[in-house]
């Protein structure tokens, strides 16, 4: 198995009317997903937004836990937040991984909507990730989902979680936890 | 399979020094876990705290989404938040379930620390839940975990998620998502 990376995309996303927008960074997305990433052995968690003000917010949240909280008794949250790296675009993170690894990663999209292209099941992806030496990079969207052009650039697309449920509105924090557990968990 | 209930306990919890405390209710715990609960077919999500001020906070969060957001275009978060019921104690929720169901539920604790009593694996619990007609009730803790006396009153205790990881500090929001996916997900 190669190294595992994850990314949280804030652009190009859709809003509730299907328009392409940059969504807002939230402290809980940075914080919760970093803790999940650390638990599942992810080596880097990219928070991706083209907006400088939003990048600052993400860095500030990281710094709060890595520079202040870490000094407090018994807390290890800083170890999780240290995985966070803020980036401007998906392309920038792909270049970063390729430079660090000497190989481009297998790029995997997640979606709350069934997709027609590059579909792979969780069991199949688990198998691919465990047998490949290349790094794997799973990206999550915010807002009302990733733009179609973005999904089409990925090697694989995972199906919605609980596809058969009549309610499919998990938080991205919950979705990221479930996806990592399904793909690399020791269940 | 009987109906599935979940509860989020804020008392009696341990703080980082092991003392028994009532923890604070957070909007994200109410909100994220309600969305996860709705996705996995949970019939009621109890937010349990003995503090009146904290109960009011939880009711207010529920009301924000069920009375205001639900009217907005395309949002279905209200459907998730409607599952939330605020309660004073675990005993009160057990009575509530028993009255609604005509039977007491199988009570299942979760813990981030390995426990010595009533241990059950995720696969075993999935099997029990699917073959039992009694309702199942999974409770999650906050802060630094449930008091031992509380864990001992449960029928079963689930092991920590990713027991072998060297970092075991998932948010309760992520833990609840993973536990429900493991026990009732269609993976």
CB contact under 8 A, A39 and B77: no
Amino acid B149: pLDDT = 87
pLDDT at residue A66, rounded to an integer: 83
Q: Is the ipTM of this complex over 0.95?
A: no
Question: What's the gap between Cα A100 and its chain centre?
Answer: 18
Any CB–CB contact under 8 A between B45 and chain A?
no
Q: Can you give the pLDDT at residue A166?
A: 86
Q: What's the confidence (pLDDT) of residue A115? A: 85
N-terminal to C-terminal alpha carbon distance within chain B? 17
Query: CB–CB of A138/A179 below 8 Å?
Result: yes
Whole-angstrom Cα Rg for chain A: 16
Q: What is the pLDDT of residues A143-163, one digit of tens each?
A: 988 988 889 899 999 999 987
| Kind and range of the H or E run holding B157 | strand B156-157
Q: Decide if pLDDT at B69 tops 90.
A: no
Q: Do A86 and A58 form a contact (C-beta atoms < 8 A)?
A: yes
Angle at A176 (CA atoms; ends A175, A179), nearest 5 degrees: 85
pTM confidence score: 0.94
* Between residues A70 and B49, the one the model is more confident about: B49
Cβ-Cβ contacts under 8 Å for B79 (sequence gap 6 or more): A167, B38, B70
**CA distances from residue B67 to A152, B31, B42 in whole angstroms, order as listed:** 38, 14, 21
Contacts with A41 from chain B: Cβ below 8 Å? 165
Q: Are A107 and A95 in contact (CB under 8 A)?
A: no
pLDDT band at B187 (very low <50, low <70, confident <90, very high): low
Q: Residue B167 is nearest to which of A76, A163, A178, comparing CB atoms?
A: A76
CB atoms within 10 A of CB B87: 21
For the ranges A49-63, A152-166, B69-83, B89-103, the lowest mean pLDDT is seen at B69-83
Q: Is the pLDDT of residue B112 over 90?
A: no
Q: How confident is the model at residue A6, as a pLDDT?
A: 98
Q: Which residues of A touch B28 (CB under 8 A)?
A: 28
How far is it, in rounded angstroms, from Cα B17 to Cα B143? 11
Q: Is B168 on the interface with A (CB under 8 A)?
A: yes
What angle in degrees, to the nearest 10, is found between the helix axes of B27-39 and A172-184? Answer: 60
User: Is the CB of A122 inside 8 Å of chain B's CB atoms?
Assistant: yes
Between residues 68 and 87 of chain A, which touch chain B (CB distance below 8 Å)?
73-77, 79-80
| Whole-number average pLDDT of chain A | 92
ω into B12 cis (within 30 of 0): yes
Q: Answer whether residue B74 shows pLDDT above 70.
A: no
HEC string for A136-160: EEEEECCCCCECHHHHHCCCEECCC
Spans of chain A, pLDDT less than 50 = none
Residue in B19, B170, B175, B186 to test binding to A, most A beta-carbons within 10 Å = B170
> pLDDT tens digits, residue range B2-48?
999 999 999 999 998 899 999 999 999 999 999 999 999 999 999 99
Element (H, E) at B113: none
When pLDDT is averaged across residues B36-65 and rounded to a whole number, the result is 94
pLDDT at position B49 is 97
Between chains, do B41 and A165 touch, taking CB under 8 Å as contact? yes
> So what's the pLDDT on residue B155?
96
DSSP characters over A15-59: -TTS-EEPPPP-HHHHHHHHHHHHHTT-SEEEEE-S-HHHHHHHH
Q: Which of A35, A1, A16, A7 is nearest to A143 (CA)?
A: A16
- What residues form DSSP beta bridges with B14? B20
Q: Which parts of A82-176 are beta strand (E)? A: 84-87, 106-109, 136-140, 156-157
Compute the average pLDDT of residues B46-53.
Answer: 96
């Amino acid at each position: 198995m190669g190294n595992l990376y994850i990314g949280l995309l804030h652009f190009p996303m859709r809003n509730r009317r299907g328009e392409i927008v940059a969504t807002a960074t939230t402290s809980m997305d940075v914080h919760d997903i970093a803790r999940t990433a650390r638990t599942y052995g992810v080596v880097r968690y990219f928070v991706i937004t083209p907006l400088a003000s939003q990048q600052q917010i993400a860095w500030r949240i990281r710094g709060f836990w890595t520079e202040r909280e870490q000094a407090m008794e018994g807390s290890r949250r800083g170890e999780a937040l240290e995985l966070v790296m803020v980036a401007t675009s998906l392309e920038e993170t792909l270049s970063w991984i390729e430079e660090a690894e000497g190989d481009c990663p297998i790029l995997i999209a997640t979606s709350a909507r069934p997709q027609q292209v590059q579909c792979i099941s969780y069991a199949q992806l688990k198998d691919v990730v465990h047998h490949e030496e290349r790094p794997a990079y799973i990206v999550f969207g915010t807002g009302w989902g990733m733009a179609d052009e973005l999904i089409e650039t990925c090697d694989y697309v995972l199906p919605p979680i609980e596809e058969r449920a009549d309610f499919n509105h998990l938080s991205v924090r919950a979705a990221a936890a479930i996806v990592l557990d399904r793909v690399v968990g020791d269940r």
